[in-house]
Amino acid sequence: MSRHYQHDIVIIGAGAAGLTLALELADKHSVAILTKTDIREGSTLYAQGGVAAVLSDTDTIDSHINDTIDAGVELGDPEAIRFTVEHSKESIDWLVDQGVPFTRYGEGEEYHLTKEGGHSHRRIIHSADATGLAISKTLIKNATDHPNIDFYPDRVAVDIVTTKKLGLSGKNRAVGVYALNQEDDVIEAFHGQFISLACGGSSKVYLYTSNPDTASGDGIAMAWRAGCRVGNMEFNQFHPTCLYDAKAKTFLISEAVRGEGGKLLLPDGTRFMSKFDPRAELAPRDIVARAIDHEMKRLGINHVLLDISHKDEDFIKEHFPTIYKRCLEYGHDMTKGPIPVVPAAHYTCGGVVVDKHSATDIDNLYAIGETAYTGLHGANRLASNSLLECIVFARSAANHIAKHDNKHETVTIPDWDESKVTNSDEDVVITHNWQELRRFMWDYVGIVRTDKRLLRAKHRVDLLLSEIQEFYANYKVSNDLLELRNLAMVADLIIRSAMSRKESRGLHFTLDYPNKQEPSSPTILSPNKAS
């Protein structure tokens, strides 16, 4: 028998987006926050650079908007971009009020603003080189201290419960979530008037990623299965500079290192970025990642070098204390010489289609942060716009929920039915499919694509989806099976989106269509028209 929990708001994910939504609503609502592992684990925790916002008298809203449009290669939604940027300062003010310790400098102790690739002004407010950690720690403390917020760690969301799935008449709305309690393998039912997906992106679909293990596309896959549209899934950002070291897995080297003068070098010490873009190391991430990928393939090398050792040692240690210490742990002293770097899957620019209130196609279901497609990023994310998006759209969602908080009739969610499944004795199938999926996504649907590679990937993912569905229907669920099921579905959405775009734009680069097409539009897939 399932355990049942009742709250006003059920939020899946405890990153910047989920915590902001919870804190904005908790004074008048009971809130449940479900996390897959420890409540502190997630992409926000690892975000280094900062939050982009118009905070300087020399900066303008129009400048930030133009930089975002340019980085997104004119595919972003102008209204969504303006909405985000116009709410940037108040979002930073909100974080400051929450107690986030942003870095200050000088006698007047003004906030230090740094510059990152694609930005025309210094507008990145940060907390040294561990901004995500500072935001996460602050918001988690405030949330755990709040009497109306309950955390449920070690819960893996299985699916969204909707009135349509329950066979009820009327307009389809979300009423709850089924989740696996990993402590005792019991499926629990969480009832809520409003459900929010704030569980990050899907970069774990690739073999190499800078993201934590939790980034398995759960929110996107669950929303798709529930009947929501998804948008721009072909645009997966590969961070150009992750530390290349077998022991380090993939540790991200912040954009800010290049923003403060870091140079990309070939093994012989030659700079190469100026061959690809006049902005050199400060070009948008898609250009830098493709340039590195090109040079690695051209020369048959495993990595390139990033060098900021020409800067003063104290400057490096002060601005990048976390990166400096982590690199030193692996034997790389960035104050003495260059460090080895490679691109890795980093950010999902597409996601669940939402409006400016983060509302999805299903009533009372919201998607926020990297799970959502707001229209902000277009074909490529501008550095440090992601945390801003989390705060702006979470606060907008909270306002929308507060204004539409008309109590619906309570819907009974039935117990999870396990009467026709057994324990698996073939977990090797999960392991094998897991490895195969991430390998062919890296090889065929990575930084550079072709029609032939995409077709190969589509054939493989179709077979995997069939195998996984058969496994899911016959055996009790586990975390690995649920993640594999979600990743395979997200992989299919990425492949289908990539196959439909007959041009190269931003993060989607194909050798068969190397030029941009005009006009161009976002890729929107509907589950009601699934092929």
Q: How far apart are CA 525 and CA 233, in angstroms?
A: 9
Tokens of 190: 């969480």
Count the Cβ atoms, other than its own, within 10 Å of residue 40. Answer: 14
Per-residue burial over 437-471, b = 16 or more CB atoms within 10 Å of its CB, e = otherwise: bbebbbebbbbebeeebbebbbebbeebbebbeeb
Whether the Cβ atoms of residue 175 and residue 146 lie closer than 8 Å to each other: no
Contact 136, 38 (CB under 8 A): no
Backbone angles phi, psi at 388, to 5 degrees: -60, -45
Answer for the pair 95, 391: CB distance below 8 angstroms, yes or no. Answer: yes
Catalytic residue among 155, 173, 229, 285: 285
Whether omega for the bond prior to residue 519 falls within 30 degrees of 0, making it cis, is yes
Distance CA(352)–CA(419), nearest Å, equals: 32
3-state helix, strand, coil in the chain (%, to 5): 40, 20, 40
Q: Give bridge partners of residue 524 from the DSSP assignment.
A: 231
Residue pointed to by tokens 């204004």: 403
CB 366 within 8 A of CB 194: yes
Q: Which candidate, 284, 211, 206, places its Cα nearest to that of 242?
A: 211
Reply yes or no on whether 496 is catalytic: no
Mark out the alpha helices in 377-448 (DSSP H runs): 385-403, 427-444
CA distance 291 to 395: 37
CA 434/CA 438 separation, integer angstroms: 6
Tell me the one-letter amino acid at 513.
Y
Beta-bridge partner residues of 173: 363
Contacts of 391 (CB under 8 A, 6+ apart): 16, 17, 20, 51, 91, 94, 95
Enzyme catalytic residues: 285
